[in-house]
Amino acid sequence: MQAHRGDNPITRNSRGPAARHVLASHDLPRAVITIFTADAVPEQLVIPSGARLVRFGRSREGDLVCLALDDLSICEVDAEAHEMRSTINTSLSAFIAFLGVCENGYPFALHGGDYDDDDVYDDPESLAADTVHKAFEELDPTVLDSGRFWDWFLSDVRSGDHCD
């Protein structure tokens, strides 16, 4: 049988069980540090812009972490206004990989002795943030722009958050 454009089971099914299956088939952590907490049950929603999403968690700030059904990217949605803030990652796999970097590196500044460039840095927080940034760049470099989810996280690490 020939596949047709739009025949993706996730976008075709308006009730979202296929999207929930995609989420369940990945090893999504229940919580990572304070930056992500998974919802017990994913929920499909449509925001005012018309974007169809499946909310599956919350950020530290309480914003919604969602799977976008049009391109399967991960996005951040303002919890109050239900407006798209930014793309967090280009795929669920990349999001989970970023969370793994965070989980495995925490607390970041305590790992200063494990990094290659520790003689270049005056403070362990900057070293930790730059090392995590390099790991992120290898996984999904298009989501590291200023003012986006992971940029804010790296700023937090650089200022000493997640380093104790």
pTM: 0.80
User: Is the residue at 90 inside a domain?
Assistant: yes
d(CA 5, CA 71): 13
Strand order in the sheet with 36-46: 31-32, 36-46, 52-59, 64-68, 74-77, 84-89
User: Is the residue at 53 inside a domain?
Assistant: yes
User: Is the residue at 146 inside a domain?
Assistant: yes
Could you list the residue range(s) of the whole structural domain that residue 30 is in?
9-158
User: Is the residue at 4 inside a domain?
Assistant: no
pLDDT 10s digits, 70-102: 999 999 999 999 999 999 999 999 999 999 999
d(CA 23, CA 36): 15
